[in-house]
Amino acid sequence: MGPSLSVSASASFERGSVVLTYLDIVLVLVVAIPALALGAPQLGYIVGAAAWIIQRIASVEVDRRLEAITELRRRLAMGVVASMTRVWLLAITIVIVGVAGSREDGLTAALVIFGAFSIHFGQSALAHVMRKRETNP
């Protein structure tokens, strides 16, 4: 089998804490209560949160399937296609919410998705550093 290429958090990081692995989802759900109580547009927050959570669940399944691909080029290509598809679906969701609801709903959905992405990106970067430390002590 060729070199491993992972587009998600490392297995040891995931085993360490489920809450840390899914911190982006936890924060989206926890922040919903005060955000909605303080007057954030409901449609935008709910649709943005749902879109993020659904794409994260899908990304976990895609990552599992990518691990089964042994050819590095094919794994990389499929990973890029999956990532770009998720980005486009999230962008389309933001536009649809902005058109179907109001501009404030679209902005709220965008902020929820951007915030969750930022947390997830940080998690992935941390997992990558931890993975490098495990392989190169």
Higher pLDDT, 50 or 131: 50
Interatomic CA distance for residues 92 and 19, integer angstroms:
29
- The mean pLDDT of 124-133, rounded to a whole number, is 82
Higher pLDDT, 119 or 20: 119
Say if residues 45 and 102 touch (Cβ distance below 8 Å): no
> Around 99, how many Cα atoms within 13 Å sit in the side-chain half-sphere?
6
- The whole-number pLDDT of residue 53 equals 96
103-135 and 23-37 helices, crossing angle to 10°:
150
Interatomic CA distance for residues 77 and 46, integer angstroms:
32
pTM: 0.81
